[in-house]
Each structure stands twice: as structure tokens, then as C-alpha cells.
Chain A
């Protein structure tokens, strides 16, 4: 069965610290990969995506993620976090091709950045 696992449920960092959130997926075919962010009181927003090509993708607000196919991973990174990065982060995948585009989601990681 398809599944997404996020390693950290709660992360607390100080401003300027580096961030890495783990995401592993289980799926037997080719996938598209996403990171979404949900700021307090706001709706889900796309942070970055990987469809094909360069496995290192850059998103908004200084975030990047690296797709490592052999490890079925798509970890999110940011060199220096800010207080405004406090949010819930979700990793999601869907199968490439076919008509069913449903997203399979991880449980999310709650990030709190202390000023």
C-alpha cells in the first residue's frame, strides 16, 4: 500500500538554526513529490514539488528538498530558519501518470521556531 512517513512529529529550533525534515514514501511506481506548509490560521500552501529532472529542488522562502530515489526519500531543508517558519509541514506523494491523482500524505511535522 502507498504510504508516506514523516520522521519528526514535533521540532523546536532557535532562529538561524538549520532545518531538515525527513520524508520517506512507499510506492512501487514513479511518483511526484510535494511539500506543503500550513501556517497558523492559514490554508495549505505548496512549498515545493518534484516531478522529474534535477533531484534537488528549490521552493519558496529559501526551502529546498532532495529526492533520493534509492532511499525513497524527499527530505526538506532550510539552512537558517526564521520565526516566521513556525508552521505545520506535510510531505505528500502521488502516482505519476494515469488518471488518479490522489495525494497520499504524511502525518505532518509541527515546527516551532523560537526567536
Chain B
């Protein structure tokens, strides 16, 4: 059983640029959630994807967007980067089945620095 993987590990971008972060979900999982974790804070929910559609969104602007692919992997895209977007971006996968949801398993994260 493979765990959740994310790429890249670290990324440095300039303000105004665009970035794409990638996540491969754990084998057998069909749902991917993305979180932003600023230094010294708990993770903040960005959005969740289930069956390739956005299934809930946190308090993040539209320049944060995502995709889920048929193999349940996912991308997080951020346009027009701002300095405050510097954070650890976490991907978590889980299984949603029969109306039940199960615990989320996290990847190692992508550390994004915006200069």
C-alpha cells in the first residue's frame, strides 16, 4: 500500500506567478483534500475533491483552484501568487463510501515560498 505523495517538495516563486502542486492519493482512496498550513498554525481547509468534482471549499479566493483525475490524483493551482501564499501545502486522501467517510491520510507537503 503506497501512501500519499506530493510534488515538488519545495518551490520558490515570485509574486504574480502561477504554481501547480501535485498529489497522488493513497491506494484505495477516492477523495483528496487540500490544506494550507502557515508557520505555527494548524492546517486551513482549501477544498476537497470527490469523484473529480469540488466537494466543499474553505475561505480561499478563486485564484486557488484544483482538479482531480480519474485515478484520484489531484492538482492544486494558485494564480497571481501573493507573499501571504507562502506556506506548507498539504494533501490528504481518504475514502468516502456508502455515505461514510473515513480518516484522512496526509502527504509530506509542498513548501511554497513566494518572494
Task: Name the segment of A12-20, A63-71, A78-86, A95-103 touching the other chain.
Answer: A95-103
Decide yes or no whether B70 CB sits under 8 A from chain A.
no
Decide yes or no whether B42 CB sits under 8 A from chain A.
yes
| B108 close to A104 (CB less than 8 A) | no
| A46 close to B105 (CB less than 8 A) | yes
CB < 8 Å neighbour of A97 from B58, B92, B99: B99
**Residue ID in chain B nearest A110 by CB atoms:** B40
Decide yes or no whether A8 CB sits under 8 A from chain B.
no
| B90 close to A44 (CB less than 8 A) | yes
In the bound assembly, the distance between CA atoms of A109 and B6 in angstroms comes to 25
- Number of A residues with CB within 8 Å of any CB on chain B: 25
**Residue ID in chain B nearest A106 by CB atoms:** B42
In the bound assembly, the distance between CA atoms of A34 and B90 in angstroms comes to 17
- Number of B residues with CB within 8 Å of any CB on chain A: 27
| A107 close to B45 (CB less than 8 A) | no
Decide yes or no whether A75 CB sits under 8 A from chain B.
no
Task: Name the segment of B48-56, B61-69, B74-82 touching the other chain.
Answer: B48-56
Cβ < 8 Å to A, chain B residues 87-115: 90, 92, 94, 96, 99, 101, 103-109
Decide yes or no whether B25 CB sits under 8 A from chain A.
no
Q: Which residues of A contact B73 (CB under 8 A)?
A: none
In the bound assembly, the distance between CA atoms of A94 and B48 in angstroms comes to 13
| A101 close to B106 (CB less than 8 A) | no
Q: Which residues of A contact B96 (CB under 8 A)?
A: 99, 101
Decide yes or no whether B24 CB sits under 8 A from chain A.
no
**Residue ID in chain B nearest A94 by CB atoms:** B101
| B109 close to A43 (CB less than 8 A) | yes
Decide yes or no whether B2 CB sits under 8 A from chain A.
no
In the bound assembly, the distance between CA atoms of A45 and B103 in angstroms comes to 11
Q: Which residues of B contact A25 (CB under 8 A)?
A: none
| A103 close to B104 (CB less than 8 A) | yes
| B41 close to A101 (CB less than 8 A) | no
Q: A residues near B, CB below 8 A?
A: 4, 32, 34, 36, 42-46, 49, 90, 92, 94, 96-97, 99-108
